[in-house]
Amino acid sequence: MNYVLPLIPALPLVAFFITLFLGKWWLKDSAHWIPILAMAGSFVLSVAAFLAIRGEEHAMVVELWRWIPVGDFQVPIAFQLDQLSSVMLLVVTGVGTLIFIYSKGYMHGDPGYYRFFAYLSLFAFSMLMLVLGANYLLLYLGWEAVGLCSYYLIGFYYHKPSAASAGKKAFLTNRVGDFGFGLGVMLIFVTFGSLDYLHVFEAVEHGGTSEGILLAIGLLLFMGAMGKSAQFPLHVWLPDAMEGPTPVSALIHAATMVTAGVYMVARSSVIFASAPTAMLVVGAVGAFTAIFAASIGLVQNDIKRVMAYSTVSQLGYMFMALGIGAWIPAIFHLVTHAFFKALLFLGSGSVIHSLGGEQDMRKMGGLARKIPFTYWTLIAGAFALAGVFPFAGFWSKDEILGMNFKGGGYIIWAVGLIAAFITAFYTFRLIFMTFWGESRMDPEVEKHVHESPWSMVVPLMVLGVLSVGAGALLGIPPEGGLFAKFLEPVFEPANQILGVHHEAFAAIDVILMIVSLAVALSGVALAYVFYVRRPDDLPQKAGAISQPLYKAVLNKWYIDEIYDATIIRLTIDGSRWLWRVVDAGVIDGAVNGVARLWDIAGRIVSPFQTGRVQNYAVVMFVGLFVIVTAVIVF
Amino acid sequence: MTTQDLIPIIPELILVLAACLVLVVEPFLKVDKTANVAIALTALLASGVVAVGLAGREQAAFTNMIVLNEYAIFFKVLFAAAGALTVMMSPRYLEASGRHMGEYYALLLFAVVGMDVMAASRDLIAFYVGLELMAVSSYLLAGFLRYQVRSNEAAMKYFLTGAFASAITLYGISLVYGMTGATNYEQVGASLLASGDSLAVGLATALVLVGMGFKVSVAPFHMWTPDVYQGAPTPVAAFFSVGPKAAGFSAMLMVFLTVFEVSSPTWSVLFIVLAILTMFVGNAFALTQKNVKRMLAYSSIAHVGYLLAGLGALGRSGTDLVAGESILFYLAAYTFMNLGAFGILAYLKTQQPATFKYSLADFAGLGRRSPWAAVLMGLFMFSLTGMPGTAGFVGKLYLFSSVVKADLAWLAVIAVLFSAVSAYYYLRVIVYMFFREPEVEYATKEPISGPLAASLALSAVGVVVIGLLPAWVLDAAQSSFGNFFG
């Protein structure tokens, strides 16, 4: 393992350098080979790591070297392999490999072809560092690095102003969260004198840390998670991030990077378990985001934006689970979501690709027969997202809802259930508007509709199979399946603090499953009525009845406008004041003053440097005389 | 003397033999001096490798005059690296100057031998012999371009002021000998410790401090530095700015910690005062320079100022040796970045022997003319400034934090302020290289190649590796310093 583990992130890093430096001149249109092979290699190694950690009680830590030791502040470059990081490794490298392959077809002919693969490899490296790091500083480092790659890739079409400003928005919004995260990491170091996971968690388990401090650490860390995982009120950047190429949306803004916040909270489960108030906040924010984002997803017309809000909403589910200590269902949902959401994004990408770049669902329709592979795989993804038995999303979502209900969180359970209904509705709204009914395409576009190349269709089919079967395979019986058994050792300490013990599968579980299946199916049915049976009048009528509500949702609850009017306005005015008064007056004045001072100093000393060696000797002896006199006198 | 005695000086023996070999081979070589370059380079590499190989065989030799320990090995490797990088940047430069002779390499090897002896000596006499061997070789190297007035002037100035400094050092040593009747570091130190601090000890401390302060250009004994650096061949100036300085510090650390342990309150105050003065003088002069070579000369004085602050902290901190470790680390970091910066100057001079005058204006437009050179120069300037990610940053971080640990936070603040000032003159070079239009457009676009390029590349790698993975060098510094004194 000592050699395998560092290789997992190293391969994409090597691919990044090769592609970046040789891509423009040598590799050109074959720039995809090295990154794809590197990613597949990492996947194979991740499988090896998975086999090695299966059934192990303790985490393996591989220390490569110490990095910048300053006194007590020791940060080893060390990787930690346990069941949690193993799951994340498999998701990142597995889904990553598929998306890399898909990108070969999707990005074909783009002038920035090699640049795209170079960034993608850099992202993979950063994400793997984030997942593998054995301490909070490496986590932070990977965290910032994936952020950086994400901004590059959102702004990949940098000549498009909307893409450039979406990148900027993502950057600034994340800064808010990362500010809290950074403070949290510092607070951890101040409190425990270390940033190593094992060390910190042991200290927390040992007790003696005041709950106030743990609460502060938990909330600060969660602030970072809110930024990265797009939780309300820091969710605003993710929908705009859809300006990036679709494979980027699938890999970074659905399957992997945005789940880093979930991973971080799960990783810190011991800290959160010791600070119940922090968990309450996590759960409440998650539940609110789940229903809030789902409501916006109802009325979006851009196919990728529907997906974006759906991602925000699903991430909300994961935090909802973390909030009640349902660590394993949260990670389970993370995994199934990675499969079906990557599938849905890649599928929409395939639709967009075949329509020559069209993203507006109002200009689609009737595509089912024209692009059958895309259609059928998307159907699988849609059922998984809607949470229909026996597709993947059903199992993980049901576990989250079930544990909330059994834990007494009836309100959150109800919120989750309503959100699930909305989810089913908007998902099938998307399917029906895109693939069913009459074609609303431009005739010019319609002529050129074509199925996507194999490099795009094959990843879709693999993800489709996973979206159908992975949930049942890993999640039966609920809370006691393969997945839960595998992950148990990681969350054992946190569960002990919470006093959770595993309950056997019971009748109540069956009832809850039937309830959530009924809710999902009714959502699908309503969408069918709205968009297949009566697409011409019912949506308009519904909009007209709930006019103010409809407008608010359509405008994304005016969150962007509120930010514009308050924070952004204030920042700009404040900055202007700082510039005119503080910068121009105080700082420039001080700087110019200091510069003048040095100028004078230079003029005072320069006559001594005459170039005559006699004078040098004189100065030496004067210096010697002064020093000796000083020694004698004092 | 027994055969056992020879083991600790195998690296030096290799260098001496190689130097003699160079002198023997030289008459048989006509224009092509590759053989001598190869001999010198091989010898330096061999001495470094052998020094590392000798680790773990700690022993004293020649009746305790010379020791082999990790401390000596650390410096032997550092000096070998500095020497090798200098040798690599020399051939092109000397050819361009029309004086490519084998004696140059022999002198350089002898200077390295002197430096090795300084770091390894445990006796004031042995130390002095090493010092003089280094100094005399240096005088000759400074005047190596003897048909150039500047080079002659440099040698003369260096020699005259150096002679004064040697005399002062010897005076201090003789006082010590008079008081204790011994020259061995431990014996002298123990004897002085037994008799207690006195005026005579203070006087001896001050004299040795001044004499050695000259070698590392402590203000106000620094005035030879810019003239010598400017006049000497550029690779030689590069070597002067790192080699003899590091050797001086290696000896100062030893002498003041062991011989003058009893007067540590005196010398630590002196070092602190001189540190402030040196930082001030170095930075103030560097700010006003329009000539990059002179600017680098003054900036090297400023770096000595930072190191002196570390020495002052070492005298204050008693048993905590972290300041000493950070001085060793800083010297390693400084060696690579300063050699690199001077190496770029040497390269530019070989490109335009007639027109390149080292002035700032000559750097205008370098970014377009010679992008690799400009990028590397930028890296070295960043590192000298102390930008994160480079060796200079980590060096300053450790050095200044060790000063803070010795309860001298105010001194660290002063040092940081001075190094903030230094950003102005370092970054100005970058501004000229990338943002100024040249007055005369040079047509030539010769790529960097050969050993000079290798030397620059290795320096750059050193700067980046030490900047990103400082733990390796830090571990070496810690074990070599802590192991010996702790």
Q: What is the mean pLDDT of chain A?
A: 83
Whether the CB-CB separation of B282 and B238 falls below 8 Å is answered with no
Dihedral over alpha carbons A22, A28, A29, A31 (to 10 degrees): 20
Number of other CB atoms surrounding residue B34 within 10 Å? 10
| Residue B17: pLDDT over 90 | yes
Tell me, rounded to whole angstroms, the distance of Cα A258 from its chain centroid.
1
What pLDDT sits at residue B15?
A: 95
Instruction: Report the pLDDT averaged over residues B79-103.
Output: 91
Query: How confident is the model over A477-496, as pLDDT tens digits?
Result: 767 778 888 888 888 888 88
Write out the two tokens for B466: 């030490």
CA A439 to each of CA A48, A300, A435, A447: distance values in angstroms, whole numbers, following the listed order? 48, 19, 9, 12
Nearest CA in chain B to A77: B469
Number of other CB atoms surrounding residue A511 within 10 Å? 12
Helix (H) or strand (E) holding A67: strand A60-70
Nearest CA in chain A to B155: A613
Q: Model confidence at B486, in pLDDT bands (50, 70, 90)? A: very low
Residues of B within 8 A of A609 (CB-CB) are 223, 226, 285
Contact of B382 with chain A, judged by CB distance below 8 Å, is answered with: no
Residue of B165, B284, B398 lying closest to A601 (CB–CB) = B284
Nearest chain B CA: its distance from A591 CA (Å): 11
Contact of B157 with chain A, judged by CB distance below 8 Å, is answered with: yes
Using only the alpha carbons of chain B, give its radius of gyration.
21
Write out the two tokens for B398: 């450790």
Nearest chain B CA: its distance from A602 CA (Å): 5
Instruction: Report the pLDDT averaged over residues B363-390.
Output: 88
How far apart are alpha carbons A510 and A589 in whole angstroms?
A: 74
B26 secondary structure, DSSP code: G
Whether the CB-CB separation of B204 and B172 falls below 8 Å is answered with yes
Residue of A65, A613, A625, A633 to mutate when probing chain B, most B C-beta within 10 A: A613
How far apart are alpha carbons A227 and B449 in whole angstroms?
A: 49
Looking at the predicted complex, does its ipTM rise above 0.90?
no
Whether the CB-CB separation of A117 and A35 falls below 8 Å is answered with yes
Q: Which of A194-203, A542-551, B313-322, B413-422 has the lowest mean pLDDT?
A: A542-551
What pLDDT sits at residue B338?
A: 94
Residues of B within 8 A of A68 (CB-CB) are 394, 397, 470-471
Which residues are within 8 A (CB) of A210 and not within 5 positions of it... i.e. 6 or more apart? none
How far apart are alpha carbons A587 and A578 in whole angstroms?
A: 10
Instruction: State residue A100 phi and psi, 5-degree precision.
Output: -60, -45
Whether the CB-CB separation of A76 and A65 falls below 8 Å is answered with yes
Q: Which residue has the tokens 């620059």?
A: B456
Write out the two tokens for B255: 């002498």
A457 vs A610: which has the higher pLDDT = A457
CB contact under 8 A, A631 and B202: yes
Q: Model confidence at A595, in pLDDT bands (50, 70, 90)? A: confident
Nearest chain B CA: its distance from A64 CA (Å): 11
Q: Model confidence at B195, in pLDDT bands (50, 70, 90)? A: confident
| Cα angle for residues B358, B364, B365 (degrees, 5° grid) | 130
Write out the residues of chain A at the interface with chain B, using a CB-CB cutoff of 8 A: 65-71, 598, 601-602, 605-606, 608-609, 611, 613, 615-617, 619-624, 627-628, 630-632
Which residues are within 8 A (CB) of A148 and not within 5 positions of it... i.e. 6 or more apart? A126
Residues of A within 8 A of B421 (CB-CB) are 598
Query: How confident is the model over B97-138, as pLDDT tens digits?
Result: 888 888 999 999 999 999 999 999 999 999 999 999 999 999
Q: Model confidence at A163, in pLDDT bands (50, 70, 90)? A: confident
Instruction: Report the pLDDT averaged over residues B336-355.
Output: 89
